[in-house]
A and B are shown apart, each in its own frame.
Chain A
Amino acid sequence: MTTVDTNPGTDTRKAGRFVYISAVVLLCAWVIVPLYFLLINTLSSPDTVNSFPKAFVPEFDLGSLSFFASFAGMLTALKNSVLVAGMTMIMSIVVGAPAGYALSRFDFRGKELFRLLILLTRAFPLPLLALPLAVMFIRTGLDDTVFGLALVHTTLAIPFAVLITFSLFSGIPLELEEAAWTLGCTRLTAFTKVVLPLILPGITASAIFAFVISWNEVFAAAVLTIENRTLTAFLLQNLDTSPLHLKFAGGFILVVPALIFIFAVRKYLFAMWGIANR
């Protein structure tokens, strides 16, 4: 520090502010820099991708990206991915949120068992479950449908939906609901008018999880869809065996839509401060 301040109080506050801002900047850099490297490699010619030392400025070679643009079936796969992710989002919340509410508000027999069942779902690898699921789907005609895949992805997303909504409902005082009841609300209207707005951010959080889980899931998508392949099954599955420059470009193409989605819903996720200021 070059400036000498006679007041030690403002000095520490300034120093604190400086530490705070640099921490924020540092953490942002920590997230962004690796992605920036991905961008550089995506926008580089194959030669540059393999060269050393690497450039730190992209050269805007669109060769790798345009390879994918001409890839037959990209758009259909993109559409399928969005459809599956959208259905997963809706189903996981519609099915999951009531359970989260029940877990936070009621003591009932079998509650612990139920919670464990929810968690079990996430603790067992899907690639092992894919075989019996695929047999079931082929027999019931769910095979190779966007809806069938969304069912499997919903299974993956449900633990997030239930647990996140549970923790948020737990954070909302029961008195608030009770107050609404005494003011003439039924259980349902108290829920929709008082509780629901409060947990909107949480719902958004679980929606993001559902979307991202579905978007990035490869194995079930590769096994359960043929004609209706999702973008991940179509593209990412074979990326690791592809040449470097296409690997990066493909990775980039997969990352971008997820980022756009999170960007689009972020204001719901982060809108809670006003509400909490009740």
Chain B
Amino acid sequence: MNARLLPYILILPVTLFLCLFFLYPFLLVAKQAFNNGSGFTLENFQEVVGYWKFPISLKNTLLLAAAVVPVQLALALLMATMVNKMQKGRDLILYVWTIPLGISDLAAGIIWLAIFEQSGFLNSMMSGLGMIDRPMNFLSYQHPGIVFLAIALAEIWRATAIMLVILVAGIGLIPKEYYEAAEVFGASPWKRFWRITLPLLRPSLQTALVLRVILAFEIFAVVAALGGTLFPVLMGETYAYQFDLLNSGAAAAMALIILAISIGFTLIILRALRVPKGAQI
């Protein structure tokens, strides 16, 4: 087979598939953002950006991603290395840790609301332990910090497994000889982690981070369940334009803004975690 053509043949199925089921509808939708019926316009963008909630929802979305993703990365790395060291029960522990993967964001919202609401499990626990006299209102406008924390916790719980699975699969590919050699030279576990695991894990880290960050900008259902109207996020505003205001032009404009932010961060991550050709194992 022609080696120069081979990569194109390999990516042909995906490209065709995505052109048909993503690019084509995407272009139709994106066109609406720049069209007001009479021709090219940026009105839709001006409208959504000029809306008073836009800066708030932008800030909320970015803050949440900034708070959640690093914790998830650290947690997923920790879990992956712990599992790697395990001799007994590895299967079971890993299974338990990947459970949240199977739980949709809607279901996660239901579960965590049951924990944080006024007559919820957290209050039950605290009053059972005698820490409080009567149930506290965690999710109220008076405590924006707690609302933020609740949303962040629910997100960390729900979506860390996505990174964990990718990292575990990646760690498995690092040859054991490297660790054995390092041990012979007396490198501490900490050093082995920094000098071997992290650098060799770069391709998987990159994938995990990019996917996680993109999904973090699309967060909606968990926020709506826990934050109610208190914590507007970009995706919630997009849906409001599309389905409450029936303004698909503005909704498309919002979605394109989210897309632009996602692309920006993706490029940063790809650059920061570049996998140089020569540096491969």
A-contact bits for B106-143, CB 8 A (1 contact / 0 none): 11001110110001110111011000000100000000
Complex CA gap A277/B180 in Å reads 11
Chain A residues, CB < 8 A from B79: 27
Tell me, yes or no, whether B55 is within 8 Å of chain A by CB.
Answer: no
Known pairs A171-B173, A276-B174; A255 contacts B165 (CB<8 A): no
Name the distance in Å between B136's Cβ and chain A's nearest Cβ.
12
A22 to chain B, nearest CB (A): 12
The answer to whether A273 touches B14 (Cβ under 8 A) is no
Once the chains are docked, how many angstroms separate the CA of A218 from the CA of B221? 12
Is the beta-carbon distance between B215 and A164 smaller than 8 angstroms? no
Cβ A262 vs Cβ B102 within 8 A: yes
> Is A72 at the interface (CB under 8 A from chain B)?
no
A47 to chain B, nearest CB (A): 13
**The residue from B97, B102, B174 contacting A27, defined by CB atoms under 8 A apart:** B97
B42 at the interface (CB under 8 A from A): no
- Residues on the B chain within 8 Å of A198, using CB: 173
Distance to closest chain A CB from B112 (angstroms): 7
Looking at chain A's contact residues, is the secondary structure mostly helix, strand, loop, or mixed? Answer: helix
Would you give the shortest CB distance from B65 to chain A, in whole angstroms? 13
Select B255's contact among A125, A132, A212, beta carbons within 8 Å: A125
Nearest B residue to A175 via CB reads B281
Cα distance A151–B95 in the bound complex, in angstroms: 29
**B135, A52: Cβ atoms under 8 Å?**
yes
> Is B214 interfacial (CB-CB < 8 Å)?
yes
Find A259's partner among B8, B99, B259 (CB 8 Å cutoff).
Answer: B99
Q: Are A272 and B259 in contact (CB under 8 A)?
A: no
Q: A202-B169, A266-B94, A270-B168 are in contact. Are A151 and B21 (CB under 8 A)?
A: yes
Q: Which of B3-46 contact A (CB under 8 A)?
A: 4, 6-8, 10-11, 13-15, 17-18, 21-26, 28-29
Q: Which of the 9-residue segments B56-64, B66-74, B234-242 touches chain A?
A: B234-242
The verdict on B222 contacting chain A, using a C-beta distance below 8 Å, is: no
Q: Could you tell me the distance between the alpha carbons of A267 and B94 in the complex, rounded to whole angstroms? A: 10
A147 within 8 Å of B by Cβ? no
Residues of B within 8 A of A (CB): 1, 4, 6-8, 10-11, 13-15, 17-18, 21-26, 28-29, 78-79, 82, 84-86, 90-91, 93-107, 110-112, 114-115, 119-121, 123-125, 127-128, 135, 157, 162, 165-166, 168-170, 172-176, 200, 203-204, 206-207, 210-211, 214-215, 217-218, 235, 238-239, 242-243, 248, 251-252, 255, 258-259, 262-263, 266, 270, 275, 277, 280-281
Chain A residues with CB under 8 Å of chain B are 20, 23-24, 27-28, 30-32, 34-35, 37-38, 41, 50-54, 56, 94-96, 98-99, 101-108, 111, 114-125, 127-129, 131-133, 136, 151-152, 154-155, 158-160, 162-164, 166-168, 170-174, 187, 198, 201-202, 205, 208-209, 212, 215-216, 218, 232, 236, 239-240, 247-248, 251, 254-255, 258-259, 261-263, 266-267, 269-270, 272-273, 275-278
Give the 10 A-B CB pairs with smallest separation, nearest first. A258-B102, A272-B172, A216-B104, A53-B124, A102-B10, A132-B25, A123-B262, A52-B119, A171-B173, A106-B7
14 residue pairs from A and B, CB less than 8 Å apart? A28-B97, A31-B100, A37-B111, A56-B124, A101-B10, A118-B14, A131-B25, A151-B21, A155-B18, A159-B211, A168-B169, A170-B275, A209-B101, A216-B104
